[in-house]
Chain A
Amino acid sequence: MKMLKDKQSAHQDTWRVYGTELSSRLFIGTAMYPSPAVMQAAIKASGAQVVTLSLRRQAPESQSGDQFWQSIQSMGCELLPNTAGCHTAKEAVALAQMSREIFQTDWIKLEVIGDDYNLQPDPFGLLDATEQLIKLGFKVFPYCTDDLVLCQRLQDLGCEVLMPWGAPIGTGKGLMNPYALEVLRARLPEAKLLVDAGIGKPSDACQAMELGYDGILLNTAIAQALAPETMASAFADAVSAGRKAFHGGMMPARHLAKPSTPTLGTPFWHEQNQ
């Protein structure tokens, strides 16, 4: 618990997501950890206040769903259920409604997958589902590509938050198109932008935050690390560092070297050295 507080205190700039104030800018998934205990330790070490989870078919005699649900509830985090695995707007809308009933939240991480090879979001199905869900009172967190026009349309429909991918889910390739992400930040200054998916290293998260992104959502990079708790802490530091760097105002890169030590009075200097 002390570590959680320490991590949270490192993020002084609180922000609001659909009316909920958060101090952490790192959202993390609950899947693929070696054990429930490791998952809980990693969530605490990350300082994350928002965790993602899902719904699946399970046999009535299976206790795993109940056990998972109880362990998540005990952590007191905000819940962000997803619609992972849905390929149509109809499926996603139904699963979102099922999630709202069980998890008692109108937040939904909306995934409508268009291609199974790279799990690329289907922009058309995503817009369709977003429109329906907003009419049903949901607060939609759309998992989307970094397409500017798609993101504009999602914002027009009422999405306060947009979650473009950095790279395909689970690849850990980092930010494959930083230019597109920069354009989104520049063109959608009012949107809460989180990079969701593809983050592999803390430096990837830091890079996104340096671009002015509001947060990061990831799962695999922490859950599949050799030491998830340690990696969670590293990601918390990276997100914080990137955010501070963005606020600090980074120097523009330049082509030519320029000495940082004053050249005036350089010893051993002679005119013929030039």
Chain B
Amino acid sequence: MIEVSVNNQNRTVAKAINLTDALLGWGYAERTAVAVAINQVFVAKSDYAHTILNSGDEIDIVQPISGG
């Protein structure tokens, strides 16, 4: 198991898990309007399946919100 940060919350996930499976585990599977960055670098949806999480990764998952 490894420790990562998801939206500033500590999470434990399986070693060598990919982003697709991690998002599924965190409950974002049904959300189409989400985007992800790891360590402040954008990860395209097409790259989720082959993006492997590493210990200490800081993952940001965002959704639409109002803005000015």
A residues near B (Cβ < 8 Å) are 29-33, 39, 52-62, 64-66, 68-69, 72, 81-82, 84, 90-91, 93-95, 97-99, 101-103, 169-170, 219-220
| Chain B residues whose C-beta falls within 8 Å of the C-beta of A93 in the assembled complex | 42
A-B CB contacts (within 8 Å), total count: 104
A213 to B48, CA, bound (A): 44
Residue in B8, B41, B45, B65 whose beta carbon sits within 8 Å of that of A54 in the complex: B65
Nearest-neighbour CB distance to chain B for A223, whole angstroms, equals 8
Residue in A65, A169, A219 whose beta carbon sits within 8 Å of that of B63 in the complex: A65
A58 to B27, CA, bound (A): 12
A65 to B34, CA, bound (A): 9
CB-nearest residue of chain B relative to A54? B67
A72, B64: Cβ atoms closer than 8 Å: yes
| Across the A-B interface, the 3 shortest Cβ-Cβ residue pairs | A54-B67, A29-B68, A65-B63
B65, A61: Cβ atoms closer than 8 Å: no
Residue in A57, A66, A72, A103 whose beta carbon sits within 8 Å of that of B60 in the complex: A57
Residue in B40, B63, B66 whose beta carbon sits within 8 Å of that of A94 in the complex: B40
Say yes or no: A169-B66 contact (C-beta < 8 A), given A60-B27, A94-B41, A101-B35.
no
Q: Given contact pairs A29-B67, A94-B37, A102-B64, enumerate 18 new A-B contacts (beta carbons under 8 Å).
A: A53-B67, A57-B8, A57-B61, A58-B65, A64-B65, A66-B64, A91-B40, A93-B42, A94-B40, A95-B62, A97-B42, A98-B42, A101-B42, A101-B45, A102-B33, A102-B34, A103-B64, A220-B68
A65, B37: Cβ atoms closer than 8 Å: no
Which has the most chain A C-beta neighbours within 10 Å: B31, B37, B42?
Answer: B42
A68, B68: Cβ atoms closer than 8 Å: no
| Chain A residues whose C-beta falls within 8 Å of the C-beta of B44 in the assembled complex | 97, 101
Nearest-neighbour CB distance to chain B for A235, whole angstroms, equals 14
A152 to B30, CA, bound (A): 45
| Chain B residues whose C-beta falls within 8 Å of the C-beta of A59 in the assembled complex | 7
